[in-house]
Chain A
């Protein structure tokens, strides 16, 4: 995902000299080409994320389009108040990029896990939140983020995620993408767990459950119409995300369903509200949190049959 992001940004920045890539001392083996070919549009600001967000705000008032970059917690939490006051309150055209969604940095422990970013950022007015689900979506989301005028948060996984889409889909901020139609249940996947949602839907088909699979790449503004449509068309709704069960995609979808007045079965599947005690690679961490393929299938079937 990182590569798809930086390659797209590189292409955009080459044409649009207003674009500035500002990183907080990260990007080894990712940003070198950008650095070398577009040195006047690149700034390693040092390990100072609060300053990074403030400087970006100041750059924007002078006509630049800064893209600020760090690992999810440092890009969004260390400087949350700068994002709130300097960027969102002033509605400035800054793009905030967090790399390492969920357990991408699994063995590094909780300081480096990206599990609360969507929850906190969703409370900020003016901010668009994009969580693309595969490298193809990352490229499209990067383009949309840069052409949107106003603050955007772009949540990225790390490296090596497979493409889920076979062809380039139509990508519009605020509009989920239906990857597969189905009549029994709807699974909304987002960010780096879209892949898992797809694996789950394939296996559920073998078990005779027909799944409507949706990539919810925009968490804010959430696609209300698509959620309501899914509630009407399928018997149960599931959200799948590598983010705290509190505040993320699941919460956003729950809010829409609860206010719709329509009765349906619904279950949030995400990281339970606790700090995981074990450490390990991404897949190990997923399983430690009920996010393995079989675990999710069990959760879905149990909910469906309850």
Chain B
């Protein structure tokens, strides 16, 4: 299973690189850092219905770090939510897939996001209703580390802890880089685990590129009854992408050249 999912992750990375090449788009590094998170969720952890994408029983995923939508689109496509052809419309004139994922732009995309700090409040609203109406679905929210700068994120963290939303699971893609530098140099989030914990969440640190570890932890949610769960997923920005951009802010901005893309794809094919 894990071997298979690793292959899926490689396929997703290839699609991300190709989308980035085609649209000459930015935001490739953060897409590459959350691949294993999304693959684990959509292929193993979450209850999803690709043929009936908005089935009421589905688990919800709020992709708050919507600037990295390439990863979401590639995973949804790989999981069978829509045809590969749609991926060709990423960030191109008249295409279906906006740079920031938008509600129902393609089957399976739950909410519009893009401005940082908007996803967790919406996810909390869904979870609040789910809990209140005794629904069995879970709500997953994938956050960037950068958006933990936003006050609205912390409003939602406070709210979810207070209301004991144990059907809500946040995953922070902690690749340690934000827009213009390393997080520790710009606005340090540490101790990040303690902060979430102090706000009433049950926290786990996980290697965000280790699918087995992600699945093991994500399958145990809620970590504690009556508490929302958060996974601090330690990742590397630009992981397995163009080598010179790995763990560099350039991975946020620079699309690959044709030659670089082909090299990366060749390497991924060997995996």
> Residues of A at under 8 Å CB distance from B?
40, 43, 45-46, 48, 50-51, 53-64, 66, 81-82, 85-86, 89-90
Contact = CB atoms under 8 A, between A and B. Distances in A.
Contact of B126 (A51, A53, A62): A62
Per CB-CB distance, the 5 closest pairs between chain A and chain B, nearest first, are A58-B125, A54-B121, A51-B155, A55-B125, A62-B129
A51 B129 contact: no
Q: Which of A43, A48, A53, A58 has the most CB of B within 10 A?
A: A58
Interface stretch (B21-29, B33-41, B107-115, B177-185): B107-115
A60 B132 CA distance: 14
B123 interface: yes
Given A48-B155, A48-B158, A82-B118, A54 B129 contact: no
A86 B120 CA distance: 11
Q: Chain A's interface: helix, strand, loop or mixed, by majority?
A: helix
A58 B124 contact: yes
Q: Chain B's interface: helix, strand, loop or mixed, by majority?
A: helix
B267 to A, nearest CB: 38
A51 B156 contact: yes
A50 B151 contact: yes
Given A57-B125, A58-B124, A85-B115, A51 B152 contact: yes
Contacts of B199: none
B112 to A, nearest CB: 5
A64 B125 CA distance: 10
A62 B133 CA distance: 10
Given A48-B155, A58-B121, A61-B110, 10 more contacts: A50-B151, A53-B121, A54-B120, A54-B125, A55-B124, A59-B126, A81-B118, A85-B118, A89-B112, A90-B112
A64 B105 CA distance: 22
Contacts of A89: 102, 112
A48 B199 CA distance: 15
B129 A50 contact: no
Contact of A90 (B103, B115, B128, B132): B103
A66 B132 CA distance: 14
Given A46-B158, A48-B158, A86 B121 contact: yes
Contact of B121 (A64, A66, A82): A82
B165 to A, nearest CB: 11
B112 A51 contact: no
A19 B209 CA distance: 42
Nearest to B157: A51
B125 A81 contact: no
A77 B114 CA distance: 19
Interface in B29-68: 62
A55 B112 contact: no
A46 B156 CA distance: 11
Contact of B122 (A40, A55, A81): A55
